Structure 1
Amino acid sequence: MRQKFSILIAFCLLCPTLARAQESDRAKAEFFEAKIRPALVAHCYECHSTKSGKARGSLKVDSRDGLLAGGDTGPAVVARSLEKSLLFKAITHDGDFQMPPKGKLPDDVIADIRKWILMGAPDPRVTEINPAVKTVIDVEKGREYWAYRPLVRPEPPSSPSSSWARTPIDQFTIAKLDEHKLKPVADAPPRLLVRRLYFVLTGLPPTPEEIENWTKRIETQPSEKAKQDALAELVDHLLESPQYGERWGRHWMDVARFAESTGGDQNNVFQHAWRYRDWVINAFNSDKPYDQFIREQIAGDLLPIANDQEWADNVIATGFLAVGTKIVGEEDQQKFFADLVDEQIDATTRAFLATSVACARCHDHKFDPIPQFDYYAIAGIFRSTETHYGLLKAQARQATTLLDLTGLGPPAGTPELNAEEYAALVKKRDDAAQEIADAMKKIRSGENVFRGLLRKYRSDRDETEAALQAYSNRGQPRVFAMGTQDRDLPLATRLLVRGELDKPAQSVPRGVLQVLSPRGKHSLPTVSKGSGRLDLANWIAWQQNPLTARVMSNRVWHWMFGRGLVRTVDDFGSTGDRPTHPELLDYLANRFIQNGWSTKRLIREIALSRTWELSTSFEEDNFAVDPDNQYLWRMHQRRLEGEAVRDAMLVVGGNLDPQRPLGTLLREVGEGNVGQNVFEPVIRAIDSNHRSVYLPRVRGVLPELLELFDAPDASLVAGSREQTSSPLQSLFLMNNPFVQRQAEGLAQLVANRPPSEQIEYAYLLALGRKPREEEKQLANSFMNDIGSARLSTQQKLTAYCQALICTTEFCSID
């Protein structure tokens, strides 16, 4: 009884205090409505509100959240701190930014805003929460779709023609051929197989000596098994060469939408993306297990490490999440952040799961069993992640910092500066800072300064400051990388009705896709620390995830054959193609996992199958039944990618530099966006005899040869490339100076041989074979043609060599 009486007394004493607090809050809210909101509407909404469609400096002031979040330079308002409130600095013209730009606010308005901030910046504007969105998707039924079923372990089938098979892969393919009454064509001859292996595994042509040695070694074996053992030695030799990683790393970079610029509205250059490029190449060369390959790219910064070098490498791997397209000129910071997260979701789920989860941003997925809820569950993970990609504030509204890895092991990407060079850089920075200081002095004295000029001064100041910060005070280069880090605390995430930022609905816990998870196990534990990226990476790399091994096995098959068992390599959903050999796909996926997720072992197993060693011969009866060769009765003939075409030209011309260049070839163009600070002709003029994987990869400004031969622009995941045929390709091969230089190099190599051997050697270098009798006659006729007497013998040889480079055979894998 006494306890109840004490509680009653305490409540009675507390009531007046609560009443006074409520009265104070009401007075503060009334002050905001009477003084602050009208001032914001009159002077700020025109450039900083949802209704105006503008968010200059990424700042919106038409909501409490917008004011607290601030814009490019930080929070606009910090309660009870005039020093930290950038809005107050701007309206008092104390700093670089003066708002409104047309003139200072009246003194009484400034005084009201000052009083409001000191009273705690009360803001009664609260975002309305929409009713919870319900899904109509039947996830349980969705589990029945072939791609979402657990992997099975099929036994290689027997069939009437099983004796033809050399490997389990062949047993699956011959059974399918028997089912459709098809006959495989003959095996490819050893000479052709050697050239095919070199191009497919390294992206480079073999030398005539390599072709001759390996062909002889295979052909002279006493038995079929011995021939296959010799071929296996060649496969192993090529898989261990550094050129393998450059070739297959380029394949993955298509998937990872790797580029060295933001694309989008401003297309700012990424000066440090090259570190991710080199990490990918190293990962393929070292045969990094694919499950670890996944973990490091999604959550490398969160993995346990043995030393600093390992941590730095893992951070660089997370560049996968940072190299995507970005609209860095976006004024609305919330929209930019939502788009950044959406791009990361799309890249991650398409690359590793061949699933278009991003299609569920605004509503349930229209075709696949992915509720909108699942999209925001994954979004919560990436929303709780900081993405570091660099850029300069004066050149991109949505710039960020880079990650400093100096002293942790990675090499610098720029040479050291001597004392004189460092002093010149300091002077350049100081001069740029003085220019903007002089401009601000003029503005404060009432003079007009052209805003475009002020923007240029700020850009120059930031660019020179960034250039200086890239070195220690002794001129030693510092090491920076793009990548990710966890936020201090996870951000709460709400489902957005129709994907609109101002229409939040129910809260969504962080998690993964329901259809690929055990029932009831799709949400992260509520006690989970950090962003949840490591949980996401482990879930994708989980052996029992039905998609991960299937998708990568299909990608490897695609890169080996020119098309996948599932043609739509980036889409295993219901709008994609079904597998032509589903049992074979599951067999390969299981073997991939059993062999420790080794990409090299999977490639080796495919390369040594009889299916892969078939010729490209045409067979009319087979064609009548299966014109698309989807059941693999022959090998697909395919054109080389643009990179391989260019690299092959450098090889046959004797000009290829096999060394990896230091850093990026974009180093000299500087920071900035294409068209304003960095110019397209300057980028296109960059030339190098290094392999094409090291050429500048600026979105929208690809090297001409790569652009003509269908290299993707890296705006989206591109696991397969289009193949076009246009007159521009032929005109380029006939007239481009680069091609002519390689033809001259080839002609010089050929000229070193006796005249009777020159045509044959030209064919061996360019096409990997000897010329047929008719081709010899045509070549001799051209070289001896009196009508071309105005040309020297060397000029004729150069013209003939260029003709060989222009052939379809040179640009194709047979």
Structure 2
Amino acid sequence: MRKKSTDNSERQALQTEIQEIIAALLVEGPQPAFLAQFIEPVETFVLARGSPESPRDLVHAAAPQRLSGELGIEPDRPGPERRKAFADWLVSPDNPLTARVMANRIWHHLFGSGIVATPSDFGRAGATPTHPQLLDWLTGQFIESGWSTKSMIRMIVLSKAFRQSSAPNDEGLAKDAGAQLLWRFPPRRVEAEVIRDSVLQASGRLDRTIGGPSYRIHNVKKRYAQWEVVNNYGDQTWRRMLYQERMRRVDDRIFTAFDFPDCGQIRAKRPVSTTPLQALNLMNSDFVVRQSELLAERARSERGRSLEDQVTRCFELLLCRQPTTDELDASMAVATTQSLELLCRTLINTNEFAFLP
């Protein structure tokens, strides 16, 4: 009887372990998703005045006619062949529009504005390119690289245009205040995600774990109208903002002020605004207050009791440089009369922290 009891205990322990592994895989493993229902292609017609009861001309599989979109495929071919024909046309060297749009978007994400300022509209309603020959050349390079985004980014960030200073001068500002002609690197504010993750990185508390489930800052409700932010600064939320679970039409009370997009909208590019709420959130939010405390603790632990060394370390962690003499004197006064934590919050609020120089 004792042996049977031992066998049952071992079996129960093994079953418990198996169930724990299954539960972990359900959360961290590949998630099943319903993408589409495969059906035989049906005939499609041009509908008179948009009415499905008034079909007219039969429409065959093709790309836009204005773009010479003849796919060279029989009308009755199955769906997979239609999709392949369209994909081949989309990336064909005879159709440079796809590569032009992609090259422009890469430039847009690196410089803050594309060579064509309307990245999703290359038509008559869109903006004209500031450097059309440059865009043509980049398009050719993109195709020759095998459509490699990494290769394009490497080439652009090593260029003189990207590496030049953003410092202004009177002559340049008079002729081209927006720096569209690239006489200097156009200064721009970084995205909301970059600001938040940079604060966590400076404090040393950024969770760099890759993959796995997202973290949530909202409560659990059945209707969108009931979503509320309940925790946006606890240690369980210190992963990269890429992994934050976002709800449509819900303000996260901190970084939505920095033009973080609403998940219910589609935008070609994010707007960039400047509002008092941004400074208030970076000074008084629970997230920033807590991270400033941790940042000050890190500076003390790494630089000992010298307040001057602690202040210098805060500059290094947040701004990646040492303070000038004037900055050090002013910062020492704040840290002495107020606190090192307040100095950290002040540095987080500087343009140098939130903008690419």
Contact 2:218 2:229 in 1 (8 A): no
The 2-side partners of 1:642 and 1:607 are apart by 22
Kindly tell me: are residues 476 and 629 of structure 1, through their superposed partners in 2, closer, same or farther at Cα, counting changes over 3 Å? closer
Among 199, 205, 224, the alignment partner of 1:655 is: 205
- Over the residues paired in the alignment, what is the CA RMSD in angstroms? 2.9
**Number of the residue aligned with 1:547:** 97
Among 735, 739, 745, the alignment partner of 2:288 is: 739
Contact 1:643 1:693 in 2 (8 A): yes
The 2-side partners of 1:488 and 1:671 are apart by 35
Among 587, 591, 595, the alignment partner of 2:137 is: 587
The 2-side partners of 1:597 and 1:580 are apart by 23
SS at match of 1:675: helix
Contact 2:101 2:119 in 1 (8 A): yes
**Number of the residue aligned with 1:215:** none
In the superposition, the TM-score normalised over structure 1's length comes to: 0.39
**Code of the aligned partner of 2:269:** S
Among 32, 35, 42, the alignment partner of 1:491 is: 42
Kindly tell me: are residues 649 and 573 of structure 1, through their superposed partners in 2, closer, same or farther at Cα, counting changes over 3 Å? same
**Code of the aligned partner of 2:318:** A
Contact 2:259 2:272 in 1 (8 A): yes
Kindly tell me: are residues 600 and 762 of structure 1, through their superposed partners in 2, closer, same or farther at Cα, counting changes over 3 Å? same
1:670 shift after superposition: 6.9
The 2-side partners of 1:568 and 1:652 are apart by 35
Kindly tell me: are residues 581 and 726 of structure 1, through their superposed partners in 2, closer, same or farther at Cα, counting changes over 3 Å? same
**Number of the residue aligned with 1:115:** none
The 1-side partners of 2:229 and 2:153 are apart by 40
**Code of the aligned partner of 2:175:** V
The 1-side partners of 2:85 and 2:128 are apart by 30
Q: How does 1:27-42 map to 2 (within 5 A)?
A: none
Contact 1:553 1:589 in 2 (8 A): yes
**Number of the residue aligned with 2:228:** 680
**Number of the residue aligned with 2:260:** 711
**Number of the residue aligned with 1:284:** none
Deviation per residue, 1:133-174 (Å, 9 max, x gap): xxxxxxxxxxxxxxxxxxxxxxxxxxxxxxxxxxxxxxxxxx
The 2-side partners of 1:504 and 1:683 are apart by 54
The 2-side partners of 1:513 and 1:714 are apart by 29
**Code of the aligned partner of 2:284:** N
Contact 1:595 1:601 in 2 (8 A): yes
1:547 shift after superposition: 0.9
The 1-side partners of 2:150 and 2:185 are apart by 21
1:782 shift after superposition: 2.2
Contact 1:418 1:475 in 2 (8 A): no
Kindly tell me: are residues 734 and 671 of structure 1, through their superposed partners in 2, closer, same or farther at Cα, counting changes over 3 Å? closer
Deviation per residue, 1:643-663 (Å, 9 max, x gap): 000000100111100012412
**Code of the aligned partner of 2:341:** T
Contact 2:178 2:186 in 1 (8 A): no
Contact 1:557 1:565 in 2 (8 A): yes
**Number of the residue aligned with 2:87:** 537
The 2-side partners of 1:747 and 1:480 are apart by 40
**Number of the residue aligned with 2:348:** 805
1:619 shift after superposition: 1.1
Are 1:562 and 2:105 counterparts?
Answer: no
Q: How does 1:165-564 map to 2 (within 5 A)?
A: 418=16, 477=26, 479-482=30-33, 484-485=35-36, 487-517=38-68, 521-522=70-71, 524-530=73-79, 532-564=82-114
Kindly tell me: are residues 748 and 682 of structure 1, through their superposed partners in 2, closer, same or farther at Cα, counting changes over 3 Å? closer
**Code of the aligned partner of 1:662:** G
1:594 shift after superposition: 0.4
**Number of the residue aligned with 1:693:** 242
**Code of the aligned partner of 1:680:** E
Larger Rg: 1
Kindly tell me: are residues 668 and 680 of structure 1, through their superposed partners in 2, closer, same or farther at Cα, counting changes over 3 Å? closer
Contact 2:217 2:237 in 1 (8 A): no
Among 704, 727, 748, the alignment partner of 2:276 is: 727
SS at match of 2:246: coil
The 2-side partners of 1:592 and 1:585 are apart by 10
Q: Which runs of 5+ in 1 are unaligned?
A: 1-416, 423-470, 789-795
1:733 shift after superposition: 1.1
Contact 1:683 1:696 in 2 (8 A): no
Among 178, 189, 194, the alignment partner of 1:644 is: 194
The 1-side partners of 2:131 and 2:355 are apart by 26
Contact 2:233 2:286 in 1 (8 A): no
Contact 1:660 1:690 in 2 (8 A): no
The 2-side partners of 1:812 and 1:739 are apart by 18
The 1-side partners of 2:77 and 2:115 are apart by 38
Are 1:624 and 2:167 counterparts?
Answer: no
Among 328, 331, 334, the alignment partner of 1:776 is: 328
1:524 shift after superposition: 3.8
The 2-side partners of 1:668 and 1:680 are apart by 5
The 1-side partners of 2:217 and 2:332 are apart by 48
The 2-side partners of 1:663 and 1:564 are apart by 34
Higher relative contact order (CA 8 A, sep 6+): 1
**Code of the aligned partner of 1:627:** A
Contact 1:767 1:810 in 2 (8 A): yes
**Fraction of identical pairs, as percent:** 34
1:777 shift after superposition: 1.2
**Number of the residue aligned with 1:755:** 307
Kindly tell me: are residues 490 and 672 of structure 1, through their superposed partners in 2, closer, same or farther at Cα, counting changes over 3 Å? farther
The 2-side partners of 1:699 and 1:650 are apart by 25
The 2-side partners of 1:487 and 1:704 are apart by 42
**Of 498-507 and 549-558, the range deviating more from structure 2:** 498-507
The 2-side partners of 1:421 and 1:683 are apart by 30
SS at match of 1:565: coil
SS at match of 1:571: coil
**Code of the aligned partner of 1:709:** F
Are 1:578 and 2:128 counterparts?
Answer: yes
In the superposition, the TM-score normalised over structure 2's length comes to: 0.85
1:583 shift after superposition: 0.7
**Number of the residue aligned with 1:118:** none
The 1-side partners of 2:128 and 2:307 are apart by 55
Contact 1:516 1:546 in 2 (8 A): no
